[in-house]
Structure 1
Amino acid sequence: MFSYLRTLLLFTGLFASSFAIATTMMAITEFELEISEGEFITVRSAGNAQSQWLETANGDIIVKRSGTWYLAEINSQNQALSTGIPYREGEVVPAEIVFIPDLSLSAALDALESTSVVSQSVAISSSDGVTQQPILVLRVSFLDQDSRYSSEEIHELIFADESSSSLSVAQYYRDNSYQKFDIQPVSETSGTVSDGVVDVALSYNHPNFGSSYGSSTSQLVSDALVSANSYINFSAYDTNSDGSLSSRELGVVLIIAGYENAYGGAGASEPRIWAHKSSISPITLDGVSLSAYAMFGEQHQSHLATIGIISHEMAHLLFSLPDLYDRQGDSNGIGRWGLMGLGSWNSTNGVSGSSPAHLLAWSKVEAGFINPRDVEGDAIDFSLKSATSDNDALRVWLDPFRHGEHFLLEYRALEGSDKALPGEGLLISHVDDWVGYGTAGLQNDVVEHKLVDIEEADGQDDMDLLENRGDREDVYNDAYGQDYFGSSSLPASVDYQGNSSGVEVAQIRVGDEVTGNLSLPYEQLGDNLGYDDGGVRAAWGSGGSVSLVEYSVPSDSRFAHGIDFYSYRNAVISTSLYASFTGGSVSNALHVSSSTITPGWNRIEFSSSLDLSSYSKVYLEITASADSLRAFGIDNMGDVSGNSYIKLNGSFQSAGFDFNQRLLVANQEDGFNYQIPDKLSFQEIEVSESGSSGGGGGSFGLFLILAAMLASCRIKLRVYAV
C-alpha cells in the first residue's frame, strides 16, 4: 500500500505531516482525593494531555494505575512514570527509581495543529459587516452515561446573549471581535427547534478514552453526526457549493456526557474525555462531506463545563489559531494573559474557566478581529484604549518589510472577561513570524525564541522559569514603578539576536487609557506581498518543480528588494521575476538569480532594487534543483487566493493552495540598514514508511494528507493512523 502512496506523493508533490489534534492545557485545580476507603488527602492536578498526575500537599507525585495510586517521578519528556510503589501518605520516594516501562505513558502528537486540504470559506456575513457563524452542538449520551445538564443549559452555555447572568461562548467572541463575529445556532428540529442543540443517544457505553484519542474517538464523532442527520440539512450550509463543509461554513461541537479530563487531570472522574479539536475521515451526509469538530466533556467534576476551554478549542476550530502555551512544558508560554495560553482557565469566582482572558492582540490579528496601527517615523506620543473596550493596538516592526520580528502593544484592563487577569497595564508582546505555526511551526515550544513572548516588565522571567502563570508585574504600569521599556531596561528592548531594537517606550502612564512616548527604528517601512495567511501547513514539489506567484504592484511600494521563501529542505533554487504571464507561460524577465536555502524561512535580497513602477503585476517564478524533493512550503488553510501556480507539462496551472513566498517591496530605492535575522534550526521533514496504531497509552503515528490539483480535477487522499 505504501509504495502506491509514495508514487502518488512523487507525482502530486504535496506532503504534510501532522496529527489532527489540538488540545487545551489542563486546569490547575485543588480538591480532596479519596486515596483509599475513607482516607482523603488534598491534591492538585498537574501535567498535560499526554501525561497527567496529581501532586500532594507535601510535594509527592502520584499516578493511578489499575485502581491503585502509586508514587511517581517526572522524566525528561515531562511524563509521569510510576515507580511501582503504592502511595502511602508521608512515605518518601527513594532516591534511585527503576522505572517500569509498561507503566509509562507514551507522548502523543496531539499538540500539533490540524491540517486540512479543504479550503475554508468565509462564513455568511450580513450587510452590516457582522460575520454570522453557524454552530451545531451535539449533546451526546451513552447507554451507561446520561447527560447531567439539559439542552437548555447547554444552549445558554454556548449561545446566550448579553441578557444572561453568565458569560456565554457567543458573548465571549462578540466581545473579542468588537461585535463583528456572531456565533449563531443552526436550524434543526431536535427538541427546542433551532436552538442549535441536537440530542444524540448512542447505543453503546461511553468509550472513556481520556486523552488517548484513536479509533473510538473517530467512531464516536461519526456516529453522532449520522444520528443527528435526521434533524438538520447539512447541505444548506455548503455556502460555496463545493460539496464539503469547512468549519467556517458549519462549526461542529460535541458535548460528551461524563467528565472533562482537562479539568481534573489524573484526578478527573470517569468516564472522561480530553477536550480537543480534530478531524475525522470525511463523512458524507446530505450530499456534503464533514470532517472537523471540537469535543468537550460535559462536567467539570461537580459543575457544568465552563466557557474557557470551549472558547479555546473553538479558536482552533474556527480560526486555526495556534496554542501559545509551551507544548513541551518547559515554560508557561504567554501564561494567563491570553485565551490560547493558560488564560482559558482564568476565573474570579473560583470556578476555573468562567472568566477566560481575551485573546492576545496577536491572536486577534490572526483571527481578523483587529488591524493594529503600524507605527513608523522617529518618535510619537501614543494612547491606547483597553483591549476589552476597543480594537486598539500598536505594532512596531523590527523588520523593515513587516515580516518577522515586531512588538505588539495593548492595554489590558481588569474589566469584562479580563477582570481575572493577574494585573492591568501596558502588555508588550515580542512576536517573530518566522518561528511560525501550523504543521512546521514551533509556536511557543522554544523558551529562548518563541512565536509570541510576553516581555515581563519586572524582568523576572517567572513564566519562562515556571515560577508562575503570570503576575501583575508582567505589565508596564507607573503605579508598579514600571514605566519604561528600552535599551537600558530589564527586559531590554532587543531582537532575538541580542541587538538593540531601536524601540523605546517611555513615560508610560495607566489610567482610563495608557499613554506614553514611542521611539521607532524606521522612519518609513516597506512591505511584503503574499497570500499565505494560515502558517506553513505542508510541503510541495519533486526535483525540478517550478512555482509561480502573481503579485499586484502597490502604488506606494514601487521597488522590489528581494523575497522571503519557506523551504522544508536544504535546497538550491533559481529565482526569476517576470513582467508578463500569458497562455500559461512567463516572459520579460526583470531578475534572475540562484540561491542556496535551508529549512525554514529564507530571506533572499536582490543585488539591487528593481523599479516596478511601469508594471501593474509581476510574477515570481522559483525552480527547485533536481535533488530538491518537497522544497516548497505551502499554506492550504483559509481562502485560496488563486494567484499561485504550479508547472505541469510545461505550462503553469492554478494550484489549490498558496505558496509560503513573499515579495519584499518598498517606496525607497535604497535598501534598509538592518541585519537579516537569524532563524531557529529546523529539521528536514522526511516521509516515514511505517505507521503505528493508537493504543491505550495515547501513542499515535503520523498521518499523511496528500492532494493534487490538476486542472479542474481535485484528488484527495487521507491516511490516518488511528
Structure 2
Amino acid sequence: MHDCGCTSDGSCPVPPHPKRLESMLANRDPSNITHRRLSADSSVTTQFGLGDGVIFPPERFPQGTQRRIMKQAAAAEPPLRGPLNVLIILTSYKDQPIRKDAVEYFKRLFFSKGEIKTGSVKEYYVEVSGGLVSITGKVFGPYVLPEKAQYYARDGWGFKEQAADTEPPNPDNNNVRTMAGHALDALLKEKPNVDLKEFDNAGRAEGTVDAFIVVHAGPGGELLNSNPAKDIWSVKWSLKKERVVGKSKTKVYGFLTLPEDAKTGVSAHEIGHLVFGWPDLYDPSNRSRGVRNWCLMSGGTWGSIVGTEPGTVPCHPSAWCKLQQGWVDVHVGNNRGTQTIMLNDVKVIKGSKKFSTTNASPLGTVYKLCPNGDGKSKQYFLIESRMRYGFDASLPGEGLLIWHIDDTVLDNGNLNRYRVTLLNADFKITGRPVSDPNFIDGEGCPFPGSTKRLNPTFDTTSIPAIEPQAQQDTFISITNISEAGPTMSMDVTVQPPLKSKL
C-alpha cells in the first residue's frame, strides 16, 4: 500500500480528536483497540479491507496474490481526474434518529461552493489537487436501520470482528460492516431500480462504486467522551461480501462511515483512504504523534483557525500524498555540485493574495533529493514550501517542510522507522518524544526554524541530520535556507563519492 498503519484487524480509523489524543497519550490506555501497533508482516493476518487500500475482494485477484498487494489496490489505480461522484446514504438507528437537517447538511458539506465559511469537501479537494479533482454526488435517505446503535458498535466502536475459529461462533458477527450492508439494503428496498453506475468514476476501479459513504446518527467514536458501546468511530472498511447491484451489475465493496455532525476534515481524511489509497501518517501505536498537524492523513484532519471547530479547516495532504496522485510537479535534484533552488508555496490558489504568478504550471512544485544522486533509491527527501493560507491556514507554522521517505517501510507503525517522516528544523524529528507535546506542532518545525539561524544548514552534521533513519551519509547538504515567505530559496549540494553508502 500504502500498507497503512491501522488496527490489528486491518482498519484505518480517523485519527482521534485532539482532546481525545491527549487523553490517550496521557493514560496509555492498553484497551484502545483502534490504534494497536502493526508488526511489519501484520498485513498477512489483519482483517482485510479495514482502513487500508483495499477496494476489491480477494476473489477478484489471481490465486496466490499476497494480501499486501491487494491492500495497495486503491493506490495502484490510475490517478483520478475530474469529477469524483460519491454515493452518500443517511441512516437513523432503530432507537436513534439522525439530525432533522441531515440531507441539507451533507449536501452543503460535500458539494457546496461558497456556502460554508471554512470550506466544503468539494472546495477542499479542488484546492489540494490543483483543480484536478472535484467532488460531486447524491445524498439518499435517511433510512431507518433494522437495529439499535449498540448492535453495530458492540462495545468496540464498531470494529470488533470475530475470528473464524472463535467458539461459540457468532452467526451475526455484527459491526460497522453490518451497518453498511444494512444501509445499502435500505436504499435498494426504497429504490429497487436505482442504478449505481453513475458512482463508478471513469478511469479507475471499473465497474465499482468508488466512494460509498454511510452517515449514521449520533457522534463519532473519535471524540473525547465517546461511548464504545454505542458510538461508531469513523473508518474506511469493506463490506463482508462484494455486492452486485442493478442491471448495470455495478459492484459495491469499500465504504467509509461518518457521524451526523461530520466536518470537512474527517470526511476528506476517509476519502483519502478509500479513493486515493493514502495510509494513516499518524503513529497508530499512540506512542508518538506521527507527522501530526502537517498532513491531512495525520492530525491535520483536525485543523482549525480561531473561532472555528476542530476539523473545519483541515490542512493539505503532505508532499508524499500529492506525489502519489500527480498533484504536484516534481523537480528531481540529482546533479552533482551546488545549485540555488527557488520554491514557491506548493499551493496554487488563483485569486489569493499570496498566489505567485511565477508558477508556470497550474500545479505546485515539490523538490526531490535522492541520496548520492541515485534516482532509484527507495529513500529520498521531498521538500515543499507551505504558507498559512487557504486550507493550510490551520498549519502551526510556515516555511520549508522536509520529508524523509523510506519506501522500504510499510507504514508509520514503527516508532523508530516511519515510512514518512517530517524533520523538525528546531532539532527534533516530529513525533518523538511524546513527553513534549509542544515542539511537534510548533511554528519552528518548518525550515529555517523558529530561531531563524543565520545561513541555516541541513546536512550530515546538522541537528536534525540529513540521514534521520539510515544513519549513513547521503552526500547531500542544504544551506542558506531563506526565511519563510511566498518564494523561498536554498542552496542544494549533491557531492557523492564514486560509491554510495546508502
TM-score scaled by length of structure 2: 0.76
Aligned to 1:448: 416
Paired with 1:282 and 1:479, the residues of 2 have a C-alpha distance of 51
* Displacement of 1:269: 9.1
Aligned to 1:428: 402
Aligned to 1:481: 452
Q: Give the secondary structure class of the aligned counterpart of 2:391.
A: helix
Aligned to 1:201: 144
* Displacement of 1:272: 1.2
Aligned to 2:42: none
More helix by share: 2
Q: Does 1:292 align with 2:254?
A: yes
Q: Residues 462 and 224 (structure 1 numbering): CA distance in 2 closer, same or farther, change over 3 Å?
A: closer
Map of 1:322-341 to 2, 5 A cutoff? 322-341=279-298
Q: Is the 8 A contact 1:18 1:112 kept in 2?
A: no
Aligned to 2:465: 492
Q: Give the secondary structure class of the aligned counterpart of 1:393.
A: strand
Name the larger-Rg structure: 1
Q: Which one of the candidate residues 514, 520, 533 is aligned to 2:494?
A: 520
* Displacement of 1:484: 2.1
| Larger relative contact order, structure 1 or 2 (CA cutoff 8 Å, min sep 6) | 2
Q: Which one of the candidate residues 103, 118, 129 is aligned to 1:177?
A: 129
Q: Residues 329 and 107 (structure 1 numbering): CA distance in 2 closer, same or farther, change over 3 Å?
A: closer
CA-to-aligned-CA distance 1:275-324 (integer Å, 9 cap, x gap): 000111111211232110011122xxxxx221111111110000111111
Q: Give the secondary structure class of the aligned counterpart of 2:340.
A: strand
Q: Does 1:343 align with 2:343?
A: no
Map of 1:264-279 to 2, 5 A cutoff? 264=224, 266-267=225-226, 271-279=230-238
Paired with 1:511 and 1:138, the residues of 2 have a C-alpha distance of 44
Q: Which one of the candidate residues 7, 11, 24 is aligned to 1:47?
A: 24
Q: Residues 398 and 221 (structure 1 numbering): CA distance in 2 closer, same or farther, change over 3 Å?
A: same
Q: Residues 381 and 18 (structure 1 numbering): CA distance in 2 closer, same or farther, change over 3 Å?
A: same
More strand by share: 1
* Displacement of 1:236: 4.5
Q: Is the 8 A contact 2:381 2:403 kept in 1?
A: yes
CA-to-aligned-CA distance 1:384-407 (integer Å, 9 cap, x gap): 111222521100011614231111
Structure 2 letter corresponding to 1:422: P
* Displacement of 1:420: 1.2
Q: Does 1:26 align with 2:16?
A: yes
Structure 1 letter corresponding to 2:266: I
Q: Is the 8 A contact 1:260 1:268 kept in 2?
A: no
Paired with 2:495 and 2:468, the residues of 1 have a C-alpha distance of 12
Structure 1 letter corresponding to 2:219: Y
Aligned to 1:673: 499
* Displacement of 1:375: 1.3
Q: Residues 415 and 352 (structure 1 numbering): CA distance in 2 closer, same or farther, change over 3 Å?
A: same
Segments of structure 1 that go 5 or more residues without pairing to the other structure are 1-16, 31-43, 49-54, 56-60, 62-73, 82-103, 186-194, 299-303, 436-440, 524-671, 678-722
Paired with 1:29 and 1:432, the residues of 2 have a C-alpha distance of 30
Aligned to 1:263: 223
Q: Give the secondary structure class of the aligned counterpart of 2:104.
A: helix
Q: Which one of the candidate residues 403, 408, 426 is aligned to 1:458?
A: 426
Aligned to 1:501: 474
Paired with 2:500 and 2:109, the residues of 1 have a C-alpha distance of 50
Q: Is the 8 A contact 2:146 2:182 kept in 1?
A: no
Q: Give aligned-pair identity as a percent.
A: 19
Paired with 2:265 and 2:199, the residues of 1 have a C-alpha distance of 27
CA-to-aligned-CA distance 1:204-241 (integer Å, 9 cap, x gap): 32235114344232221112112223173124445679
Q: Residues 421 and 268 (structure 1 numbering): CA distance in 2 closer, same or farther, change over 3 Å?
A: farther
Q: Which one of the candidate residues 327, 344, 357 is aligned to 1:369?
A: 327
* Displacement of 1:263: 1.9
Aligned to 1:224: 183
Q: Residues 327 and 107 (structure 1 numbering): CA distance in 2 closer, same or farther, change over 3 Å?
A: closer
Q: Does 1:315 align with 2:258?
A: no
Q: Give the secondary structure class of the aligned counterpart of 2:481.
A: strand
Q: Does 1:165 align with 2:127?
A: no
Structure 1 letter corresponding to 2:443: R
Q: Is the 8 A contact 2:477 2:493 kept in 1?
A: yes
Structure 2 letter corresponding to 1:252: F
Q: Is the 8 A contact 1:505 1:519 kept in 2?
A: yes
* Displacement of 1:355: 1.0
Paired with 1:455 and 1:243, the residues of 2 have a C-alpha distance of 35
Aligned to 1:212: 159
Map of 1:563-602 to 2, 5 A cutoff? none
Q: Residues 502 and 124 (structure 1 numbering): CA distance in 2 closer, same or farther, change over 3 Å?
A: closer
* Displacement of 1:492: 1.4
Paired with 2:302 and 2:476, the residues of 1 have a C-alpha distance of 33
Count of aligned pairs between the two proteins: 424
Q: Residues 514 and 163 (structure 1 numbering): CA distance in 2 closer, same or farther, change over 3 Å?
A: farther
Q: Residues 411 and 135 (structure 1 numbering): CA distance in 2 closer, same or farther, change over 3 Å?
A: same
Paired with 2:368 and 2:334, the residues of 1 have a C-alpha distance of 9
Q: Residues 239 and 464 (structure 1 numbering): CA distance in 2 closer, same or farther, change over 3 Å?
A: closer
CA-to-aligned-CA distance 1:381-436 (integer Å, 9 cap, x gap): 1111112225211000116142311111111111111111111111101111111x
CA-to-aligned-CA distance 1:68-98 (integer Å, 9 cap, x gap): xxxxxx4xxx5159xxxxxxxxxxxxxxxxx
Paired with 2:390 and 2:446, the residues of 1 have a C-alpha distance of 18
Paired with 2:203 and 2:327, the residues of 1 have a C-alpha distance of 26
Q: Residues 427 and 132 (structure 1 numbering): CA distance in 2 closer, same or farther, change over 3 Å?
A: same
Q: Residues 123 and 445 (structure 1 numbering): CA distance in 2 closer, same or farther, change over 3 Å?
A: closer
CA-to-aligned-CA distance 1:620-653 (integer Å, 9 cap, x gap): xxxxxxxxxxxxxxxxxxxxxxxxxxxxxxxxxx
Paired with 1:105 and 1:508, the residues of 2 have a C-alpha distance of 40
* Displacement of 1:673: 1.6
Segments of structure 2 that go 5 or more residues without pairing to the other structure are 1-6, 38-45, 61-72, 162-173, 349-362
Paired with 1:413 and 1:395, the residues of 2 have a C-alpha distance of 19
Structure 1 letter corresponding to 2:301: S
* Displacement of 1:480: 3.3
Paired with 2:114 and 2:334, the residues of 1 have a C-alpha distance of 39
Q: Is the 8 A contact 1:398 1:521 kept in 2?
A: no
Paired with 1:489 and 1:233, the residues of 2 have a C-alpha distance of 59
Paired with 2:415 and 2:364, the residues of 1 have a C-alpha distance of 29
Q: Residues 521 and 448 (structure 1 numbering): CA distance in 2 closer, same or farther, change over 3 Å?
A: farther
Structure 2 letter corresponding to 1:417: F
CA-to-aligned-CA distance 1:222-280 (integer Å, 9 cap, x gap): 1211222317312444567999743xx5310111111111022x445973100000111
Q: Is the 8 A contact 1:238 1:244 kept in 2?
A: yes
Q: Residues 521 and 283 (structure 1 numbering): CA distance in 2 closer, same or farther, change over 3 Å?
A: farther
CA-to-aligned-CA distance 1:600-632 (integer Å, 9 cap, x gap): xxxxxxxxxxxxxxxxxxxxxxxxxxxxxxxxx
* Displacement of 1:140: 0.8
Q: Is the 8 A contact 1:259 1:271 kept in 2?
A: no
* Displacement of 1:477: 3.0
Structure 2 letter corresponding to 1:499: Q
Structure 1 letter corresponding to 2:328: I
Paired with 2:469 and 2:405, the residues of 1 have a C-alpha distance of 10
Paired with 1:392 and 1:105, the residues of 2 have a C-alpha distance of 35
Q: Give the secondary structure class of the aligned counterpart of 1:498.
A: coil
Paired with 1:385 and 1:151, the residues of 2 have a C-alpha distance of 40
Q: Residues 474 and 401 (structure 1 numbering): CA distance in 2 closer, same or farther, change over 3 Å?
A: same
